């Protein structure tokens, strides 16, 4: 039940992201536009603000994390499914023995060994899956913080002030430079 609720909440979140993405062009140019983009995919907001190097780094990290998460989750699901199959077979031996059915000792041992191996593999796969979940969370968090605190790149070049103060002995001069 808890898993079902989590899945529904996550699916709703994903759907909300999708709706946001469709609506995001309407937000282009606004301050929240970059944040929304960065929520959708790290680096998009930075790209929108003109920070292309940071955008590349965040987008690469997010894509690698997503791909890693997807791949390890699929592998973890397969291993878990295999483990559950062995576990059900193993537990069913109890019922069969209780019902007077003869079971080969070698079958019981082989199933136990396979079940233990599948459990260890599932443990390992879960660790890798959690690693990519962590990487994804860190990438999104750093990305959001970055997009909130950084200023948009305007393309303007900071120029020397056209007017300056100069000290000559005990006098102060205001110098205005005019270039032709």
CB of 149 to another protein, least distance (A): 19
User: What binding mask, one character per residue, do residues 94-133 give for another protein by CB under 8 A, x or -?
Assistant: x--x--xxxxxxx-x---x--xx-xx--xx--x-------
Window contacting another protein (CB under 8 A); options: 21-29, 141-149, 163-171, 172-180: 21-29
Spatial distance between the Cα atoms of 155 and 44, rounded to a whole number of angstroms: 18
Q: CB-based contacts of 167: which residues, under 8 Å, 6+ apart?
A: 173
User: Which residue stretch of 13-21, 142-150, 165-173 sits at the interface with another protein (rule: CB under 8 A)?
Assistant: 13-21
Cα–Cα distance between 137 and 16 in angstroms, integer? 18
Quote the Cα angle for 90-92-93, to 5°: 70
Q: Is 28 in the site for another protein (CB under 8 A)?
A: yes
From 47-55, 141-149, 161-169, 172-180, give the range in contact with another protein by CB under 8 A.
47-55
162: its two tokens: 């056209």
CA distance 62 to 50: 19
**Is residue 132 a contact partner of residue 69, using CB atoms and an 8 Å limit?**
yes
- Other Cβ atoms closer than 10 A to 119: 16
CB atoms within 10 A of CB 106: 8
Q: Contact between 81 and another protein (CB under 8 A)?
A: yes
171-176 vs 163-168, strand pairing mode? antiparallel
Smallest gap from Cβ 33 to another protein, in A, equals: 9
Residue that the structure tokens 């995919």 belong to: 41
Answer for which of 48, 57, 140, 146 binds another protein (CB under 8 A) is 48
* Min dist. Cβ of residue 73 to another protein (A): 5
Residues that bind another protein (CB under 8 A): 3, 7, 10-11, 14-15, 17-18, 20-22, 24-25, 28-29, 36-37, 40-41, 44, 47-48, 50, 66, 69-70, 73-74, 77, 79-81, 83-84, 87, 90-91, 93-94, 97, 100-106, 108, 112, 115-116, 118-119, 122-123, 126, 152-155
């Amino acid at each position: 039940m808890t898993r079902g609720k989590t899945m529904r909440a996550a699916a709703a979140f994903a759907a909300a992201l999708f709706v946001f993405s469709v609506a995001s062009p309407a937000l282009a140019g606004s301050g929240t536009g970059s944040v929304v983009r960065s929520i959708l995919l790290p680096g998009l907001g930075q790209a929108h603000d003109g920070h292309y190097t940071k955008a590349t780094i965040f987008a690469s990290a997010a894509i690698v994390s997503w791909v890693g998460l997807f791949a390890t989750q699929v592998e973890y699901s397969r291993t878990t499914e295999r483990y559950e199959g062995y576990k059900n077979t193993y537990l069913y031996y109890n019922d069969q023995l209780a019902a007077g059915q003869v079971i080969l000792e070698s079958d019981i041992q082989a199933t136990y060994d396979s079940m233990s191996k599948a459990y260890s593999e599932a443990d390992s796969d879960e660790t890798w899956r959690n690693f990519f979940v962590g990487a994804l969370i860190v990438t999104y968090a750093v990305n959001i913080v970055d997009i909130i605190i950084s200023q948009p790149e305007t393309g303007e070049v900071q120029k020397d002030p056209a007017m300056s103060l100069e000290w000559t002995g005990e006098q102060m001069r205001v110098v205005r430079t005019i270039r032709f």
